[in-house]
Amino acid sequence: MSQPSKIKVLTNGILNENPVLRLVLGTCPTLAVTTMASNGIGMGLAATFVLLCSNVVISALRNIIPNQVRIPCFITVIAGFVSVVQMVVKAFVPSLDSALGVYLPLIVVNCIILGRAEAFASKNGVVDSALDGIGMGIGFTCTLTIMGTIREILGSGTWMAGLDGLLPFLPDGFAIRVIPESIDPFTIMTSAPGGFFVFGIMMAAATWLTSRPKKGAAEPAEGGNAQ
Amino acid sequence: MIKQLAVIFFTMILVDNYVLSKFLGICPFLGVSKKLDSAVGMSLAVVFVMVMATAATWPIQTFLLDPNGMGYLQTIVFILIIAILVQLLENFLKKFIPALYRSLGVYLPLITTNCTILGVTILNIDNEYNFIESIVCAAGAGLGFLVAMVLFSGVRRRVEQARPPECFKGLPITLVAAAMTSLSFMGFGGIVDAIFG
């Protein structure tokens, strides 16, 4: 049995198996919190932390947890770490807590985390699981940030508004204005339909990026089925 | 009192529809809405579990967690209650109402990780609803889920006959269609205030 290299495990989650765009997991927080890029970063980091910790713990316990009750055990481990994140965010980043609202406790039922616990951590070693958690987390965070960027720039004309809550050294009311205030922003982008729309476009873009033939690589043997 | 309950109920179905305006339960919304009968089956199971879960979690939060200062355990306790409840319900239906079990059974295990259920129980606490309001809110949220699923399964049948560009095939074009459906639900904003206000 050939072991996949550590780098491969780490980078897998970023594009090829991007949890949101390729595996279509964790769509609810993706759509809900990406009205601003900074919320996307916050949500991504919170989920990454939970993903990393739960992957490590579940992979360490994988030989102890009986197979029949594994799902409740996984959920309990995940819920524990989510409560930790909830308390930390409430205490240190209150602005993020109010921006994410109910979606913060809902990380528990984020299918990325349970999905990776079931599909990867319960079958692989601790180190690989940690790398997988970090990779998937980075993929999730990047997707959320990009999506938040698109929606925020089009929908309110600013970029990274609210980042001062995450990084305390930034001045209050920090925001980079991309589109001048004299132009009316495209507010539909920050509300529900815009979320679905941007998500659809991004998923199409990811499909296009991963399915187009590589430059300089040999033509696919089947011949042009990727078109 | 009745008026207030009606406002909550219809707001949850039309204006604050969980799927189309709050983005809860998107996974089953995209996964199970391909066929009308499975969409209805899943939604009915959701309505049922949502009301049961609210009826179970509200007293626990109000009479057990809050008086003892253990509000921070909310997430863990609620998700465990939901998981146990779904399991109990599955066993109960299997034993006593096999006909219902056959139609809803396959959807029940999926419901534990459906964020609408945990979402509605937590939001009921956050909004400080009393017990009856919470139950009405849960029923409304569940019916809203049903409405969204049924409408969208119709939209999807049309979308599947269309021929989008290659990279849009499958989910991307479905999401764009969901954007249109959600846009139409935005038209309901204010309707509840206009009727009951």
pLDDT, tens only, B20-75: 888 888 878 887 788 888 888 888 888 888 999 999 999 999 998 888 888 888 88
Lowest mean pLDDT among A169-183, A198-212, B117-131, B137-151: A169-183
> In this prediction, does ipTM exceed 0.95?
no
Q: Which of B45, B122, B112 is nearest to B83 (CA)?
A: B112
Question: What is the reported pLDDT for A222?
Answer: 36
CA B49 to chain centre: 9
Chain A residues within an 8 Å CB radius of B119: 102, 106
Confidence of residue A218 (pLDDT cuts 50, 70, 90): very low
What would the pLDDT profile of A27-54 be if each residue is shown by its tens digit? Answer: 888 888 888 888 889 899 999 999 999 9
* Cα distances (angstroms) measured from residue B174 to each of A179, B34, B46, B160, B179: 30, 10, 22, 8, 9
Distant-in-sequence, close-in-space partners of B170: CB < 8 Å, separation ≥ 6? none
In this structure, are residues B141 and B18 in contact, taking their beta carbons and an 8 Å threshold?
A: yes
B144 neighbors B12 (Cβ within 8 angstroms): yes
Q: For residues A73-80, give the mean pLDDT.
A: 89
Computed over every residue of chain A, the mean pLDDT equals: 81
pLDDT class of A224 with cuts at 50, 70, 90: very low
Distance from CA of A52 to the nearest CA of B (A): 18
Sign of the Cα pseudo-torsion (A71, A76, A81, A82, in order): positive
What pLDDT sits at residue B135?
A: 94
In sequence order, the β-bridge partners of residue A159 are: A176
Q: Which residues in A lie closer than 8 A to residue B80 (C-beta atoms)?
A: 72, 75-76, 79
Determine contact, residues B83/B57, Cβ cutoff 8 Å.
no
Contacts of B33 (CB under 8 A, 6+ apart): B39, B149, B152, B153, B156
> Of A57-61, A66-70, B62-66, B119-123, which gets the smallest average pLDDT?
A66-70
Residue A14's alpha-carbon distances to A10, A138, B147, B159, in angstroms, are 8, 6, 36, 30
- Strands (E) located in B51-183: none
Taking CA–CA distances from A90, the nearest residue in chain B reads: B72
CA distance A158 to A150: 10
Q: From chain B, which residues contact A within 8 Å (Cβ)?
A: 20-27, 30, 72-76, 79-80, 83, 112-115, 118-119, 122-123, 126, 165-168, 171-176, 178-180, 182-183, 185-186
Q: Is the pLDDT of residue A172 over 50?
A: yes
Specify the pLDDT at position B143: 93
The token pair that represents A156 in the structure block:
């309110």
| Structure tokens belonging to residue B95 | 């034993």
A26: left (phi over 0), alpha (psi -120 to 50) or beta: left
Reply yes or no on whether the pLDDT at A197 is more than 80: yes
Mean pLDDT within A87-97? 88
- Find the closest chain A residue to B87 by CA distance: A72
Residue A140 pLDDT exceeds 50 = yes
Q: Which residue, B17, B44, B24, is CA-closest to B137?
A: B17
Q: Are A102 and B183 a contacting pair at CB < 8 A?
A: no
Secondary structure, 3-state, B16-72 = CCCCCCCCCCHHHHHHCCCCHHHHHHHHHHHHHHHHHHHHHHHHHHHHHHCCCCCHH
CA distance B110 to B82: 12
Residues of chain B with pLDDT under 50: none
Q: Which residues of A touch B24 (CB under 8 A)?
A: 28, 32, 106
**Would you call A79 and B112 a contact, using CB atoms and an 8 Å cutoff?**
no
Alpha carbon of A103: minimum distance to chain B alpha carbons (Å): 8
Q: Which carries the bigger pLDDT value, residue A221 or residue B49?
A: B49
Question: Where do the DSSP E strands lie in chain A?
Answer: 158-159, 176-177
pLDDT over 60 at A225, yes or no: no
Residues A134 and B63: their CA atoms lie apart, in Å, by: 40
Residue type, B174: T
Set of chain B residues whose Cβ sits within 8 Å of the Cβ of A77:
none
Residue A17 is predicted with a pLDDT of 77
Q: What pLDDT score was predicted for residue B20?
A: 85
Crossing angle of helices A192-211 and B171-186, in 10° steps, is 170
User: In the predicted model, what is the mean pLDDT of residues A157-162?
Assistant: 80
The reported pTM is: 0.83
- Chain A residues with CB-CB distance to B30 below 8 A: 24, 27
- Rounded mean pLDDT, A129-134: 90
- Residue A59: what pLDDT? 92
Q: Is B172 exposed, middle or buried (0-12, 13-18, 19+ CB in 10 A)?
A: buried
CA distance A101 to chain B (A): 9
- Specify the pLDDT at position B51: 92
Supply the DSSP symbol for A168: T
Q: Which residues contact A166 (CB under 8 A, 6 or more apart)?
A: A38, A41, A42, A93, A96
CA distance A224 to A212: 10
Single-letter amino acid code for the residue at A130:
A
User: Which of the 8 DSSP states describes residue A158?
Assistant: E
Contacts of B11 (CB under 8 A, 6+ apart): B140, B192
Phi, psi of A159 (to 5 degrees): -140, 135
**Shortest alpha-carbon distance between residue B129 and chain A (Å):** 16
- The percentage of chain A sitting over the pLDDT mark of 90, rounded to a whole number, equals 15
- pLDDT in the model for residue B59: 92
The number of helix segments (H) and strand segments (E) in chain B equals 10, 0
Q: Which residues pair with A177 in a beta bridge?
A: A158
A159 Cβ contact list (under 8 Å, min separation 6): A37, A149, A152, A153, A175, A176, A177, A178
Nearest CA in chain B to A195: B179
At A220, is the pLDDT very low, low, confident or very high (cuts 50, 70, 90)?
very low
pLDDT interval class at A1 (50, 70, 90): very low
Identify the pLDDT of residue A213: 64
pLDDT of residue A4: 62
What pLDDT does A3 receive? Answer: 57
Angle at B187 between CA A198 and CA A43, to 5 degrees: 35
Q: How far is A171 from chain B (nearest CA, A)?
A: 31
For the ranges A19-23, A145-149, B110-114, the maximum mean pLDDT occurs at: A145-149
Q: Which residue of B has its CA nearest to A210?
A: B167
